[in-house]
Chains A and B, each alone.
Chain A
Amino acid sequence: MTAVIDEARPQRVSFFNDPKVRSRAAQIVFALLLLWVGYEIYHNTSANLAKLGKNVDFNFLGNTAGFDIIQRPIEYSRESSYLTAILVGFLNTLIIAILGVICATILGFVIGVMRLSSNWLLAKMAAGYVEIIRNIPLLLQILFWYTAVLKPLPGPKESLSFLGVAFLNNRGFIIPKPIWGDGAGFVGIAFIIGCIAAIAVSRWARQRQERTGEQFHSFWAGLGLIIGLPIVAFLLAGAPVTFEYPELKGFNFAGGTTILPELIALLLALSIYTASFIAEIVRAGIMAVSHGQSEAAHALGLRAQPTLRLVVIPQALRVIIPPLTSQYLNLTKNSSLAVAIAYPDLVAMGGVVMNQSGRAVEIVVIWMIVYLALSLFTSAFMNWYNARVRLVER
């Protein structure tokens, strides 16, 4: 009996040639190697730091910073802690990243569509734009824009005035600052209600169209709700806003909100640079939608505008979104080049803290974690969006 079974079994694979054993052995060796390298790094770092009488300790973040920052989205002064300084830097990174993504997307789509224009000159100009911009290092472009923005602007005394309320000079673009009075909260509440109502209307319109075939211009209705409700609330609350107008005092304008030239230069450089990549992505995305789709839509009786909106763009977006995500991530990471001009982003502020406190390891760890978290968050959001617009296959 046993003999029969033995014959039926394939010849026993030798211990060394069993792929499972080999793979496990290789993995164990690899893991041990990694652990060893990790241990060595940990050991050396702690030994090197101990020799200097230092250790890795994040408590220093509570110490007083002692320096000032030019752009402060939250309350910050020289008495604030290092942690607050880094937080200010992080928020500044977020500001430039969000503004950059918006501007780069708009510009990129315009250029991308221009490249497909039937107008030869426009198409060539767009191609020229892409070829010139994306072949020059971003850092160079940032430095160039910083010079280009600063140089031609006049000093505060000769500021360019816009209706006497906003001023442009080499200290920035100074605009009136709204100061919200009592009842301003109603406007915000009305805005939120407007948004919810707009979503509800568009849902209702879609359901009705599916039921009865009647169309309803939910876009305009929604827009009216989102804009109109806050306006109504604003007027009902008795226009609870006053503006603090900038006025020239001593060296510069006092009051108002200043948009820094550093922010403007960085925004210009980042969005122009990233737009050249987005333009190529958009072009490839539109080209990827076959002409048959438009023809089929026309055959169904759709006009040009609905064809574009309902047939071409949704399909193009599917091709566009994944590479667009990585461009957004690139833009966020590239915003760290702000350190080259005096824009106080996360890397710049971290650098200052590193130098004032002498805590290099801790700061690098904070940088890595924050940027990784930003990247993961953006990818997660874009993956979610991508899953929504994905082709539903049966």
Chain B
Amino acid sequence: MTDLSSSHAWVRTKDAERLPPPPNTTGVVGWLLQNLFNTPLNSVFTIIGVAFIAWIGWGIIEWAIIRGVFSGESRDACVAVPDSGACWPYVAAKFHQFVYGFYPFDQRWRVNICFIVGAIALATMAIPSLPYKKWNALFLLVVYPLMTFVLLTGGNLDFSTSTLLGIVGLLLLSALIVPLLAFGIEEGVQRNRTALLLAGAALLIWLVTLFISMPEINLLGSFVSVSTLAVVALLLAAAIMSLVHEASSRDVSARSALLGWVGACCAVIAVLLVMTVDFGLVAVETQQWGGLLVTMVVAITGIVASLPLGILLALGRRSKMPVVRLFSVVFIEVWRGVPLITVLFMSSIMLPLFLPEGVNFDKLLRALVGTALFSAAYMAETVRGGLQAIPKGQYEAAQALGLSYWRTMSLIVLPQALKIVIPGIVNSFISLFKDTTLVLIIGLFDLLGIVKASFADPKWAAPQTASTGFFVAALMFWVFCFGMSRYSIYMERRLATGHKRRGI
């Protein structure tokens, strides 16, 4: 055998040299080799990246902790240390202000209740597996705003007589629509012809008074023009006739429409009552609000008000009526074309000019109107995306079932469209939340505004006060926005499953 092997040159007599083991593909080292050092260029990038992270991270740690000042009563503590880092006692002293602004100390429990109740309601709303979504939504959209309004401002509003009269008048006017809702327009008009004629006469008189002034008579000490009296009397008569007609009808739909009207009136009156009742809360003006409270109020009111507006605008933009479509397009594009700052300036400076003499708004409310209109334009585009994603078959099917436009929209299209755009709505909310910082430019103290304002306090003015304040503000904003963006991604994934095709 040995002979054989020696005689054949191609037979190997020695083991070939061992190849090096293949690069480790498991374990930490393997992972590193695969993901960080797989090519020379990547290795260089990795080293640069690590150095960069270390530089930034160390910079923050050094500034915040190692060189940071942790205790003290005033700026002296932070000024005394040469080359000091973050001035934490300043944050400790001012943190309550960052959250509540100038809200009176002994009243802050009211803000806390609003925060806590809101957080619980929102959390239960946001977690998909929890039940009672409808009731929760009702609470969040109706009861909660009312509750926060009363708690934060103190309620106990004084409505002027003309405002109250106006609301009562509008309620009565709405009575005219009840038969139209109950029987459809044609039959409703026929059944209620006299009332509508009276209302038409009132409208005519009003149009005439636009051009001709009427004599005024003294009524209970105040001067009222004859035409005003005539219009009010005609409308009142029309509304009462319409209601009497409804009540005497035996028709089921008339009954349910009437009941609905009564319910709506009761709700409005209840809301008015809650706003006017004196709960014994001290009135806190909006000028005393500030910090996170204002940020929350602006962002949440903005999003809640912009949602219905945005839906209407989105529907308007897809409407077949040219006037409505043109208006929606112009409205959306104008608001989207200008910066929020100019919108805020406009609402804070020009809104008072637009209103009739004697009507004036709270500054915060003016900012709210501006942000709501602004975000409504963006919301409209988000919702339009959802509407476009609904297949045409859905519209056609609804039409085939004989549903009217509003029913098609409210029962078929919008529920599907809105579900798709939930992530988009959350994203709009995030940008609105960030944009609330701009109200500081019109002199409201949101979170960033109050942080900036606190730099002016001579008690805490130190070289590092500004950086520390900005750091804390950035952290607070980031936590909120990041949380919401994660939620948006989570919802996107969750909702996406319903639309993916499975199988054939």
Contacts of B336 in A (CB 8 A): 375
- For window 143-181 of chain A, which residues contact chain B by CB distance below 8 Å? 143-144, 147
Residue pair B473, A119 in contact (C-beta under 8 Å): no
Residue pair A336, B339 in contact (C-beta under 8 Å): yes
- Determine if B495 is an interface residue (Cβ-Cβ < 8 Å): no
- Determine if B492 is an interface residue (Cβ-Cβ < 8 Å): no
How many angstroms from the CA of A140 to the CA of B186 in the assembled complex?
Answer: 58
Residue pair A140, B448 in contact (C-beta under 8 Å): yes
Residue pair A139, B438 in contact (C-beta under 8 Å): yes
Interface residues on B, range: 35 or more
Encode contact with B along A55-98: 1 for CB under 8 Å, 0 otherwise: 00000000000000000000000000000000000000000000
- Determine if A293 is an interface residue (Cβ-Cβ < 8 Å): no
With contacts A121-B49, A135-B477 taken as known, whether A45 is within 8 angstroms of B338 at the C-beta atoms is no
Residue pair B482, A135 in contact (C-beta under 8 Å): yes
Contacts of B438 in A (CB 8 A): 139, 337
- Determine if B341 is an interface residue (Cβ-Cβ < 8 Å): yes
Contact of A121 among B46, B324, B334, B354 (CB under 8 A): B46
CB nearest neighbor in A for B337? A375
How many angstroms from the CA of A135 to the CA of B324 in the assembled complex?
Answer: 36
How many angstroms from the CA of A117 to the CA of B46 in the assembled complex?
Answer: 11
- Min CB distance B40 to A, Å, is 12
Contacts of B481 in A (CB 8 A): 134-136
- Determine if A23 is an interface residue (Cβ-Cβ < 8 Å): yes
Residue pair A26, B321 in contact (C-beta under 8 Å): yes
Which segment of B138-146, B235-243, B344-352 sits at the interface? B344-352
Interface centre among B350, B356, B448 (most CB of A within 10 A): B350
How many angstroms from the CA of A14 to the CA of B356 in the assembled complex?
Answer: 42
Give 5 nearest A-B pairs by CB, closest first: A135-B481, A120-B35, A375-B337, A333-B339, A137-B434
CB nearest neighbor in B for A333? B339
Residue pair A364, B346 in contact (C-beta under 8 Å): yes
CB nearest neighbor in B for A121? B49
Encode contact with A along B35-61: 1 for CB under 8 Å, 0 otherwise: 110100010011001101100000000
With contacts A339-B341, A364-B342 taken as known, whether A136 is within 8 angstroms of B46 at the C-beta atoms is no
Residue pair A119, B42 in contact (C-beta under 8 Å): yes
- Min CB distance B338 to A, Å, is 4
With contacts A27-B322, A136-B477 taken as known, whether A334 is within 8 angstroms of B327 at the C-beta atoms is no
- Min CB distance A94 to B, Å, is 14
Interface residues of B (CB under 8 A from A): 35-36, 38, 42, 45-46, 49-50, 52-53, 184-186, 189, 320-324, 327, 333-334, 336-342, 345-346, 349-350, 352-357, 430, 434-435, 437-438, 440-441, 448, 452, 466-467, 470, 473-474, 477-478, 481-482, 485
With contacts A137-B434, A147-B470, A336-B339 taken as known, whether A119 is within 8 angstroms of B482 at the C-beta atoms is no
Residue pair B45, A360 in contact (C-beta under 8 Å): no
New A-B pairs, 14, CB < 8 Å, besides A16-B186, A118-B42, A140-B474: A17-B184, A17-B186, A31-B323, A45-B350, A122-B46, A122-B49, A137-B435, A139-B438, A339-B341, A339-B441, A368-B338, A368-B342, A371-B337, A371-B338
Residue pair A119, B324 in contact (C-beta under 8 Å): no
8 A-B pairs with CB atoms under 8 Å apart are A23-B320, A26-B321, A131-B482, A135-B430, A337-B339, A337-B341, A361-B353, A376-B337
Contacts of B354 in A (CB 8 A): 41, 44-45
How many angstroms from the CA of A236 to the CA of B430 in the assembled complex?
Answer: 59
- Min CB distance B455 to A, Å, is 10
How many angstroms from the CA of A334 to the CA of B38 in the assembled complex?
Answer: 41
How many angstroms from the CA of A339 to the CA of B441 in the assembled complex?
Answer: 8
Residue pair A143, B434 in contact (C-beta under 8 Å): no
Residue pair B470, A47 in contact (C-beta under 8 Å): no
Residue pair B350, A119 in contact (C-beta under 8 Å): no
Contact of B434 among A136, A329, A340 (CB under 8 A): A136
Residue pair A368, B334 in contact (C-beta under 8 Å): yes
- Determine if A367 is an interface residue (Cβ-Cβ < 8 Å): yes
- Determine if A49 is an interface residue (Cβ-Cβ < 8 Å): yes
Contacts of B49 in A (CB 8 A): 119, 121-122, 125
- Determine if A30 is an interface residue (Cβ-Cβ < 8 Å): yes
Interface centre among A51, A143, A337 (most CB of B within 10 A): A143
Residue pair B477, A140 in contact (C-beta under 8 Å): yes
- For window 350-394 of chain A, which residues contact chain B by CB distance below 8 Å? 351, 360-361, 364, 367-368, 371-372, 375-376
How many angstroms from the CA of A372 to the CA of B333 in the assembled complex?
Answer: 8
Residue pair A122, B45 in contact (C-beta under 8 Å): yes
- Min CB distance B430 to A, Å, is 7
- For window 330-354 of chain A, which residues contact chain B by CB distance below 8 Å? 333-334, 336-337, 339-340, 347, 351
Contact of A44 among B189, B355, B478 (CB under 8 A): B355
Interface centre among B434, B473, B485 (most CB of A within 10 A): B434
Contact of B36 among A119, A132, A339 (CB under 8 A): A119
Residue pair B448, A139 in contact (C-beta under 8 Å): yes
- Min CB distance B163 to A, Å, is 17
Residue pair A371, B350 in contact (C-beta under 8 Å): no
How many angstroms from the CA of A294 to the CA of B355 in the assembled complex?
Answer: 62
